[in-house]
Amino acid sequence: PTRAEITYFGAGPAALPTDVLETAAQALLDYNGTGLGIAEHSHRSELATNIINEAKADLASYLDIPTGDYEVVFMQAGGTGEFSAAVYNLVGAWVARQHAAIVSELGGDKADEAAVVAALRARVESDLKLDYIVTGGWSLKAYQEAVRLLGPEYVNLAADARTINDGKFGKIPDQSTWKLSKDAALVYYCDNETVDGVEFPEFPSVLAPRADGSGPIVVADMSSNILSRRVPVENFSLIFFGAQKNLGSTGVTVAVVRKSLLPPVTSQPSPALLRKLGLPIPPIILQYETIARNNSLYNTLSIFDVYIAGQVLKKLLRTYPDKVDGQQAVSEKKANIIYAALEAHPEVYRIVPDKSARSRMNICFRVIKNGNIDEAEKTFLKEATAQGLTGLKGHRSVGGIRASNYNSIPLEGAEKLARFIDAFAKA
Ligand code: PLP
């Protein structure tokens, strides 16, 4: 089939807009009449810096990121690398705060260094906690990474969605049941669980900042729903996402970091101190302050991937004068059309997550005909593919069908899928 005949519902990498790819293909051969392609130019060149700065500015504009308080960095860690980066950076920030407090308690400049380290060590052992809200496979992986890096004694499973849903993901535990620690180094959640089709309907109010501006240090993985709805950025200390679903191509990851968490490396806990405290030392490439200080160019960055992300953002800004609110309305409409088609045939389709936590981005369902799931799903996939509706197979860990309804799926694509869902049920 040709590109034009296909609507690709894969979970990531996702389809990219064809006009963006055409522009990028030309840029790969010859960027702006320089005779050299965008992937060949130095990442230290002025044109590379311009591409980074424009993409940052367009992202900030589209999402209304308050750039006075937040730094946007491009990295190559992937979402998985950010699971580790979140731990390293926010444990570092927590230790730095405790260190400063203990030094002042023990007499400021005159404080005895050995006494400071001993007190800090005791405080780490008694108070260091990272809270994880686990609502699906990705937040589970992030939680497991924190346990792997720090040891289980420092990591608090504040909520586990499986405990309220027969051992499976599909619901978000009521916020009143979350067991949040006092002054946690971070509270982590995944805004949209790509595998399980579970999305937070809105920012969890229990994590909202207090009137005096203080509040929990909130970290969110928005890999699979960023750019699809408005985000109250100022409620977060860190938001991260890989580009490969709603932003661009595989190979670049974005972190939006609160600037107050980026003290100069010289005032962060030194490797020697972390060693004494028995805490892990961050790889330099995962240190947000280092990357931010170098405008994302501490080491070689794929400028081509940043360029594609930049072109996607320019297209979004052209398409939606009201920026992300415009895309949000379309995303909701597309999701509603698909869910409505499924709900119209309860005898054939079973939507996996609870209605209160249904994702607009990853629509997960089972197909049952004549009492047979496996056969029905095989036939569903085969017939959908024949009609150009591809990439619908669910994640290998959970099976079923998953329609990933990212920004690059046009309204007509969602409508076509809904018509197919209806026709398949009736056939
Ligand atoms: N977080 C979420 C929500 C994801 O969907 C994914 C990948 O699909 C990841 C993290 C991991 O991203 P990566 O494969 O870039 O490490």
Q: How far is CA 192 from CA 73, 220, 271, in A?
A: 21, 9, 35
Instruction: Please give the distance, rounded to the nearest whole angstrom, from the Cα atom of residue 13 to the centre of ligand 1.
Output: 10
Instruction: Please write the tens of the pLDDT for every residue from 153-179.
Output: 999 999 999 999 999 999 999 999 999
Instruction: Please give the distance, rounded to the nearest whole angstrom, from the Cα atom of residue 397 to the centre of ligand 1.
Output: 14
Q: What percent of the chain has pLDDT over 90?
A: 96
| Distance from C-alpha of 200 to C-alpha of 171, rounded to nearest angstrom | 10
* β-strands 186-190, 218-221 pairing: parallel
By C-alpha distance, which of 280, 281, 283 is closest to 298? 283
| Distance from C-alpha of 102 to C-alpha of 345, rounded to nearest angstrom | 63
Instruction: Please give the distance, rounded to the nearest whole angstrom, from the Cα atom of residue 329 to the centre of ligand 1.
Output: 25
Instruction: Please write the tens of the pLDDT for every residue from 62-74.
Output: 999 999 999 999 9
Cβ of 137 less than 6 Å from ligand 1 = no
Q: How far is CA 306 from CA 22, 45, 297, 324, in A?
A: 16, 14, 12, 19
Helix (H) or strand (E) holding 7: strand 7-8
Amino acid type, 169: F
- Taking the alpha carbons at both ends of the chain, their separation in whole angstroms is 25
Q: What percent of the chain has pLDDT over 70?
A: 100
Q: Can you tell me the mean pLDDT for 244-265?
A: 94
Return the best residue to mutate from 74, 224, 245, 249 for the ligand 1 pocket (most ligand atoms within 8 A of CB).
224
* CA-proximal residue: ligand 1, atom 9 (nearest): 79
Cβ of 241 less than 6 Å from ligand 1 = no
Provide the pLDDT for residue 266.
81
**pLDDT surpasses 90 at 195:** yes
| Distance from C-alpha of 172 to C-alpha of 133, rounded to nearest angstrom | 9
Output DSSP code: residue 14: P
| Distance from C-alpha of 253 to C-alpha of 81, rounded to nearest angstrom | 9
Cβ of 12 less than 6 Å from ligand 1 = yes
Cβ of 240 less than 6 Å from ligand 1 = no
Cβ of 242 less than 6 Å from ligand 1 = yes
Instruction: Please give the distance, rounded to the nearest whole angstrom, from the Cα atom of residue 140 to the centre of ligand 1.
Output: 12
Instruction: Please write the tens of the pLDDT for every residue from 126-148.
Output: 999 999 999 999 999 999 999 99
| Distance from C-alpha of 319 to C-alpha of 304, rounded to nearest angstrom | 23
Half-sphere exposure of 354 (CA within 13 A, CB side): 18
Name the 3-class secondary structure at 390.
strand
Instruction: Please write the tens of the pLDDT for every residue from 198-212.
Output: 999 999 999 999 989
Instruction: Please write the tens of the pLDDT for every residue from 281-337.
Output: 999 999 999 999 999 999 999 999 999 999 999 999 999 999 999 999 999 999 999
Name the 3-class secondary structure at 212.
coil
Half-sphere exposure of 376 (CA within 13 A, CB side): 19
**Cis? peptide before 280, omega within 30° of 0:** no
Could you count the other beta carbons within 10 Å of the beta carbon of residue 392? Answer: 24
For the chain, the average pLDDT equals 97
Sign of CA dihedral 401, 405, 406, 412: positive
For each of the domains in the chain, give its residue range(s) and CATH number, in order of start: 5-14+322-426 (3.90.1150.10), 51-306 (3.40.640.10)
Cβ of 142 less than 6 Å from ligand 1 = no
Report yes or no: 425 and 265 within 8 Å, Cβ to Cβ: no
Instruction: Please give the distance, rounded to the nearest whole angstrom, from the Cα atom of residue 223 to the centre of ligand 1.
Output: 6
Cβ of 194 less than 6 Å from ligand 1 = yes
Provide the pLDDT for residue 263.
83
| Distance from C-alpha of 115 to C-alpha of 121, rounded to nearest angstrom | 10
Instruction: Please give the distance, rounded to the nearest whole angstrom, from the Cα atom of residue 307 to the centre of ligand 1.
Output: 21
Atom of ligand 1 nearest to the CA of 194: 5
Atom of ligand 1 nearest to the CA of 253: 15
Cβ of 221 less than 6 Å from ligand 1 = yes
DSSP 17-74: -HHHHHHHHHHHH-STTSSS-TTTS-TTSHHHHHHHHHHHHHHHHHHT--TTTEEEEE
- pLDDT-derived band at 400 (thresholds 50, 70, 90) equals very high
- pLDDT-derived band at 25 (thresholds 50, 70, 90) equals very high
* CA-proximal residue: ligand 1, atom 2 (nearest): 223
Provide the pLDDT for residue 267.
82
Tokens 């004068």 label which residue? 321
**pLDDT surpasses 90 at 264:** no
Predicted-complex ipTM score? 0.99
Angle between helices 411-426 and 373-386 in degrees, nearest 10: 130
Cβ of 80 less than 6 Å from ligand 1 = yes
